[in-house]
Amino acid sequence: MRHYPNLQFKTDKKFDTEICADFINEKIGDYDFGYERIISLHPDLEKIRHIKKIRQVVEIQKYVGQYYIRHEKEITKSLSCFERAWSAIASRYFIEIEKIFGVLNFYKPDTINGLASIFTCGVIDDNFTSFQIWYKVKDIKEIRRHISHEILHFYYYTYIKKHFPGLVGNWDMAEIFNVVILNLPQFQSIIGTEERGYEIHESRFQKYKNIWRACNGELDLYLSHITQEPLK
């Protein structure tokens, strides 16, 4: 009998606080990640961006706690919406994932935590057991796409850590893999919306879709190929 992880949707104020503190001043090149993913949604936090870290964490903790209290009903409603959206497709999704990886027992956790977040940082934990999803995402198809995206990451990273460790640090290939797989017809029929990926990778999408087809959907063959030809 197949056994797939159970998804538990909940909140984690402590994790939200830590993520905000870690990323509030983050910049990636010219992209102000901290502003776009945190400050633009919570302008009251602008005034604490450049204060001392210890005081900053205290202020973030206070803000997050108060925000959760003020928006408790909306956040609780979102959790129910996430649960309904996912439960309708969960079995079909895992069956298709199993076809990609052969078996799924290499991923050991019985529970995956979907954490409703008040920020849009979209962080996953280092153990590949928890991911964040912005609590204001309302579109059912987008909810399903987001969850499908993160779970595929968990299986991909767990798999390559054992079989293709040279790919573990290659974030680009992980994101491109999601675009290749989640845009396959069998996944599109489940999710219902395109996996667009990141703009910086767009010029590479077709190349890696072609590689997947040339490998006849054989995962190890595909991974062996991209290990030999890393993204530059």
116-174 pLDDT, tens digit per residue, is: 999 999 999 999 999 999 999 999 999 999 999 999 999 999 999 999 999 999 999 99
What percentage of the chain exceeds 70 in pLDDT? 97
- What is the pLDDT of the chain when averaged over all its residues? 95
Q: Is the pLDDT of residue 230 over 60?
A: no
What's the confidence (pLDDT) of residue 229? Answer: 65
Q: Is the pLDDT of residue 2 over 90?
A: no
What's the confidence (pLDDT) of residue 29? Answer: 82
For the entire predicted model, the pTM comes to: 0.93
What's the confidence (pLDDT) of residue 37? Answer: 97
What's the confidence (pLDDT) of residue 1? Answer: 53
Residue with tokens 């009903």: 73
186-227 pLDDT, tens digit per residue, is: 999 999 999 999 888 999 999 999 999 999 999 999 999 998
What's the confidence (pLDDT) of residue 191? Answer: 98
